[in-house]
Amino acid sequence: MKGTKSLLAAGARIAGRNERYVIWFYLLNLVLACFGAAAFSNQAHAILDHSLYAGKLLHGFDIVVLIELITRPEFGPAEAWLWPAFDLAILFFLATMLLLPGVLLGYASDNRLPRGEFYHACGQNIWRFVRLFLFFALIAGPISGILGGAQNALVKAADQSSNERLPFLVQLACMGIIFLVLTAIRIWFDLAQIQVVVADQGKVRKSIASAYRGVKGYRIRLLGTYVSIAILAGVVLLAGIWIWIRIVPAASLATAFVMGQAILLLLLAARFWQRACAVAFYRDYMTAITVERETIPSASLPVIALVDEGGPAPLPQT
Amino acid sequence: MPFGKMLWCCIGTISMSLPLAAQNPPAVIPDTTSAINSRQPLSQRVVAYDIDAKYDPSSHSLEATEILTYHNLTGQPLDTFPFHLYLNGFQPKATWVREVRQSGTRDEDLDDWKAKFYGAGDIKSFEVVGQGDLTSQLQFIQPDDGNKDDRTVVQVRLAKPVPPAGFVQFKIKFHDQFPETLARTGWKRDFLLAGQWFPKVGVWWHGAWNCHQFHATTEFFADFGVYDVRITIPQNQVVGASGIQVSEVNNADGTKTLTYHGDDIHDFAWTASPHYKVLDDEFQSSLGTVKLHIMMQPAHWSQAARHALILKQSLDHFERWYGPYPYKTLTMVDPEAGSAAGGMEYPTFITGETTWWVPGGLLLPELVVEHEFGHQYWYGMVATNEFEDAWMDEGINSYTEVKVLDSIAGKNTSILNQWGIRAGERQEQRRGYIGAANLDPIAQDAWKYYSFGSYGGITYGKTASVLLTLESIIGEDTMQKSMRTYFMRYRFTHPTKEDFLKTIEEVSGKDLRWYFNQAIYGSQLFDYEVLRIDSSPTDWYKEGIKEKKGETEYTSVVWIHRKSDFVFPVEVQIKFDNQESVREHWDGRDRWIKYTYQKRAKILSAEIDPDHKILLDRNEFDNSHTEKAHKAPARKLTNYWTFLNQLFSQVLAWFMV
């Protein structure tokens, strides 16, 4: 627990020192989402702007009127406003993959990473990250499939019971397990990403293997760290929505916007906190890994301490 | 009564009843009243069912003997009798299954056929008392679709016709195999809902037998009478049934026999499960005490009080608005989860539907219970033909459901009032209708709708919307009087659609054919819009004119457009920026109308049906037009949608990279 706390604190310090990354990603997501919602917005404005009936959506929220709106033929087929949103979500995912190496390098740096080095890291690692994602998909996909199948079978079996809550509880438990397993895989690949970037490891398979070795012995600690942050994020989401519903007046658009964006910003910060924790762990605890640094982009880059499992080694001065 | 008929009656009665006296119930219809709060029978009793049934939960099957006494009140000799065998609908080649696969149903989709879905009502022997065993004479008929594999109607021809006013007694031994519930009837785990489980004679109606096959969209039609039913079942089962419970006797073999009696009902359903928890309550009606028997699943026990409350509120509203509930009992069953047996009505016996997690602001349990209770009136007592006039039970009931729930929980919050989100039942009924507005008329046989969706949207949603809109023509009070008159006049009978419509015309004193022809018999679309509004200075041609509020005179024009073929008079309200408001009345006969005003004020808005009395208009968004754009509603929705997009993106990125 103490280790988890120190990791959380170390991660918080790193993320806090580099809060600009969270803001950038938040703004990027907001801009993309605005584009993604443009089709929906246009259709809604075309139907609602001059209609008194629209008041039912503004003062309170009549779900039947909303359904009536989105099923109107002139609102267009659902694909017309669902697909842009989905496409832009994919774009955000790709942008995250593209820009993440710079973020990780920044987190690993003791000093503010110059912009040029940030983009250099992004460009240098783009295909490595694509390959890492493919490996992640190859591992997480089948495992999710198997766990999902097992979940369905268990829920189906639980459905035979007269205890109506049982299928729900089984589903909840299975989802919890799936979440833990996916989080464990995510930790593994987060560390592999860090090694690829920080150690400038071109062979991603080596990074995956050494990240796997590095996690050994620290699984619970790392999982505890990640899950703690995820739970906190969940609480933020639920509490934020609760406050949004309870306190924000139905017709107050600005307050609702600020409330929603604050929730999203905090959620994003939580994920960056996780990554920062992984960087802190990498710096302090990763097992001895042979890293052949091909190039050192800048003097500002840190030298990563590669230590034995026995404990952290003092960071050498740059 | 003519002498000839009286003679037939006496001969018939004597000849049919004498040989039975020793072992069978007498061949008369009892005039018992123990199950009703009335000293006299309330209906013209045509049938008396005496059924002895033994249920085996392990095989979900039942062996039974039924003695059906039929009173020939048709005024003519009868030599053929059709019987419904509804359980045979749950067979792979049956019409019910065929239609479910083609058009869907309210409950389970039948993508795959499984052995457990099989249901059957097999007649083992069929004896007509006094005429011998006619089992070999039974013949399956398919009056609706000619599907030779459908065995839901069986017919027998008697050697000797039953004279007018005479009685005939059928002694039928049958075996039921209940399906796992696909819709309404059957088992789920160790629960059973036994509906439509016994051979049931058709109805002689308008000079012919009315005995339709069992369809995916149809319900039932039967004559009033008396039911005496004995159910033998393992002692661990908790049982509920139509009518009153007369006795319960434990048998030596670990079973028990429960006896039920029902008066002036036209069907009998029962349920059994070892898990029910029961809440007994009472309602004082103007006719006497009504015992409420509320059978809940253990996981829903905390909602028992909610169910009791809505039952009592419904009883109270119906009694005040339409007429008294005359039965001594009302059993409300909360069926097994996932059983597809929820939301169903039988005389004095209804099934609700809920889940363990339902929050207090989500009124779906109340909605279902109220709806099914309403069927005690619209189907139970006013026993319309559910095969041919489904709208007269489901639609009229949906209308009264809206009225009652509006009264109890508010117009805009009668379904949902939780977390700032609202939904009202009247808008939900309308939403159901506008999704299927142009496919079918209301007045048609239930199995002839384009799809199950169309059947639901039109039968429930459109009928409710038509009747709510009718209030704008004749007034809400007159509509309520019409409904009360209709109920009191036609309870315990089988009225037709014209009986209903003429009652409304009679009470309102208005000729409403123009409306009924479009709304009930036609499939015209109702769609009006404010086509355009415009205000421009009257002296627009003068050079250097400067507009000043309150001083400049404007010529304002409003165009109202009837977009479709339903002609209906509407009110139009035009508001000006000097607080002035003008109301216009348009008969709607032309395709459009233009209103012109010259005022020292500009138009702010124009609105069709400003009092929101018309629910038939399929697009309410274009029923008004404001001069200025009000962007807040769309911005609010866009904010929600953007938030969801961002959240989705972040969750995707959270796990994937």
Answer yes or no: is pLDDT of B355 > 70. Answer: yes
pLDDT band at B24 (very low <50, low <70, confident <90, very high): low
Pull the structure tokens for residue A78.
């659902």
Pull the structure tokens for residue B313.
């509120």
pLDDT band at B420 (very low <50, low <70, confident <90, very high): confident
pLDDT score at A201: 86
pLDDT score at A49: 97
Answer yes or no: is pLDDT of A132 > 80. Answer: yes
pLDDT (average), residues B561-569: 97
B206 Cβ neighbours under 8 A, 6+ residues apart: none
User: Between the CA atoms of A220, A225, A230 and A232, what dihedral angle is there, to the nearest 10 degrees?
Assistant: 130
Answer yes or no: is pLDDT of B556 > 80. Answer: yes
pLDDT (average), residues B126-136: 95
User: What are the boundaries of each domain within chain B?
Assistant: 1-30+47-223, 393-519, 528-626, 630-657
pLDDT (average), residues B595-600: 96
Q: Among residues of chain B, what percentage have pLDDT more than 90?
A: 89
pLDDT digits (tens, 9 = 90+) for A136-181: 999 999 999 999 999 999 999 998 887 888 999 999 999 999 999 9
Estimate to the nearest angstrom the gap between the alpha carbon of A203 and the chain centroid: 24
pLDDT (average), residues B205-230: 96
The alpha carbon of residue A136 is apart from the nearest alpha carbon of chain B, in Å, by 8
Answer yes or no: is pLDDT of B18 > 70. Answer: no
Strand partners, B626: B605
pLDDT digits (tens, 9 = 90+) for B83-95: 999 999 999 999 9
Pull the structure tokens for residue B66.
């039924």
Instruction: Tell whether A23 is covered by a domain.
Output: yes
User: What distance in Å separates the CA atoms of residue A124 and residue A112, rounded to the nearest whole number?
Assistant: 19
Q: Do B431 and A245 touch (CB under 8 A)?
A: no
| Among the listed residues B246, B616, B248, B238, the one whose alpha carbon sits nearest the alpha carbon of residue B464 | B616
The alpha carbon of residue B643 is apart from the nearest alpha carbon of chain A, in Å, by 6
- Which residues of chain A are within 8 Å of residue B657 when distances are taken between CB atoms? 93, 96-97, 100, 129, 133, 136
What's the CA angle centered on B123, arms B119 and B128, to 5 degrees?
155
User: What distance in Å separates the CA atoms of residue B592 and residue B119, rounded to the nearest whole number?
Assistant: 57
Expressed in angstroms, the distance from the first to the final Cα of chain B is 89
pLDDT digits (tens, 9 = 90+) for B279-308: 999 999 999 999 999 999 999 999 999 999
pLDDT (average), residues B627-639: 96
pLDDT band at A2 (very low <50, low <70, confident <90, very high): low
User: What distance in Å separates the CA atoms of residue B532 and residue B173, rounded to the nearest whole number?
Assistant: 71
Strand partners, B84: B153, B200
Answer yes or no: is pLDDT of B10 > 90. Answer: no
Pick the CATH number of B393-519 from 2.40.30.10, 1.10.3720.10, 1.10.390.10, 3.50.50.60: 1.10.390.10
| Among the listed residues B362, B189, B452, the one whose alpha carbon sits nearest the alpha carbon of residue A63 | B362
Average pLDDT across chain B, whole number: 94
pLDDT band at B354 (very low <50, low <70, confident <90, very high): very high
Instruction: Tell whether A246 is covered by a domain.
Output: no
pLDDT score at A312: 39
Average pLDDT across chain A, whole number: 88
Answer yes or no: is pLDDT of B261 > 50. Answer: yes
pLDDT band at B107 (very low <50, low <70, confident <90, very high): confident
- Which residues of chain B are within 8 Å of residue A29 when distances are taken between CB atoms? 646, 649-650
pLDDT band at B496 (very low <50, low <70, confident <90, very high): very high
Pull the structure tokens for residue B599.
């005022």
Q: Among residues of chain A, what percentage have pLDDT more than 90?
A: 73
pLDDT digits (tens, 9 = 90+) for A12-25: 999 999 999 999 99
3-state SS, B101-155, equals: HHHCCCCCCCCCCCHHHCCEEEEEEEEECCCEECHHHCEECCCCCCCCCCCCEEE
Answer yes or no: is pLDDT of A70 > 50. Answer: yes
pLDDT score at A292: 40
Instruction: Tell whether A290 is covered by a domain.
Output: no
pLDDT band at A258 (very low <50, low <70, confident <90, very high): very high
Q: What is residue B424's three-state secondary structure?
A: coil
Backbone angles phi, psi at A83, to 5 degrees: -65, -45
User: What distance in Å separates the CA atoms of residue A75 and residue A78, rounded to the nearest whole number?
Assistant: 8
Answer yes or no: is pLDDT of A315 > 70. Answer: no
User: What distance in Å separates the CA atoms of residue B535 and residue B56, rounded to the nearest whole number?
Assistant: 78
Q: Is the pTM of this model over 0.95?
A: no
- Which residues of chain B are within 8 Å of residue A34 when distances are taken between CB atoms? 642
Instruction: Tell whether A161 is covered by a domain.
Output: yes
pLDDT (average), residues B384-396: 97
Q: Do A33 and B646 touch (CB under 8 A)?
A: yes
The alpha carbon of residue A317 is apart from the nearest alpha carbon of chain B, in Å, by 31
pLDDT score at B544: 83
pLDDT digits (tens, 9 = 90+) for A79-106: 999 999 999 999 999 999 999 999 999 9
Q: Do B431 and A88 touch (CB under 8 A)?
A: no
- pLDDT top residue among B3 and A107: A107
pLDDT score at B139: 97
pLDDT band at A290 (very low <50, low <70, confident <90, very high): very low
Asked if B555 and B597 touch (Cβ cutoff 8 Å), the reply is yes
A162: nearest CA in chain B? B189
Answer yes or no: is pLDDT of B655 > 90. Answer: no
Picking from B297, B422, B656, the nearest residue to A62 by CB comes out as: B422
Strand partners, B279: B294
| Burial (CB count <10 Å: 0-12, 13-18, 19+), residue A77 | exposed
- The single-letter DSSP state of residue B394 is I
Domain limits at A130?
Answer: 2-232+265-285
Estimate to the nearest angstrom the gap between the alpha carbon of B603 and the chain centroid: 45
- Which residues of chain A are within 8 Å of residue B336 when distances are taken between CB atoms? 162
User: What distance in Å separates the CA atoms of residue B556 and residue B90, rounded to the nearest whole number?
Assistant: 64
What's the CA angle centered on B474, arms B469 and B479, to 5 degrees?
80
User: What distance in Å separates the CA atoms of residue B295 and residue B278, rounded to the nearest whole number?
Assistant: 5
pLDDT score at A1: 55
- Which residues of chain A are within 8 Å of residue B636 when distances are taken between CB atoms? 57-58, 251, 253, 256
- The single-letter DSSP state of residue B299 is G
What's the CA angle centered on A31, arms A25 and A35, to 5 degrees?
140
3-state SS, B21-43, equals: CCCCCCCCCCCCCCCECCCCCCC
Q: Do B621 and A85 touch (CB under 8 A)?
A: no
pLDDT score at B2: 43
Q: Provide the domain count of chain A.
A: 1
User: What distance in Å separates the CA atoms of residue B292 and residue B330, rounded to the nearest whole number?
Assistant: 5
Instruction: Tell whether A307 is covered by a domain.
Output: no
Lowest mean pLDDT among B1-15, B38-52, B306-320: B1-15
3-state SS, chain A, equals: CHHHHHHHHHHHHHHHHCHHHHHHHHHHHHHHHHHHCHHHHHHHHHHHCCCHHHHHHHCCEEHHHHHHHHCCHHHCCHHHHHHHHHHHHHHHHHHHHHHHHHHHHHHHCCCCCCHHHHHHHHHHHHHHHHHHHHHHHHHHHHHHHHHHHHHHHHHHHHCCCCCCHHHHHHHHHHHHHHHHHHHHHHHHHHHHHHHHHHCCCCCHHHHHHHHHHHHCCCHHHHHHHHHHHHHHHHHHHHHHHHHHHHCCCCCCHHHHHHHHHHHHHHHHHHHHHHHHHHHHHHHHHCCCCCCCCCCCCCCCCCCCCCCCCCCCCCCCCC
pLDDT score at B338: 87
pLDDT (average), residues A33-49: 95
- Which residues of chain B are within 8 Å of residue A245 when distances are taken between CB atoms? 419-420
Asked if A254 and A161 touch (Cβ cutoff 8 Å), the reply is no
Answer yes or no: is pLDDT of A305 > 80. Answer: no
Answer yes or no: is pLDDT of B17 > 60. Answer: no
Gyration radius (Cα) of chain B, Å: 29
pLDDT score at A299: 42
| CATH 2.40.160, domain B528-626, yes or no | no
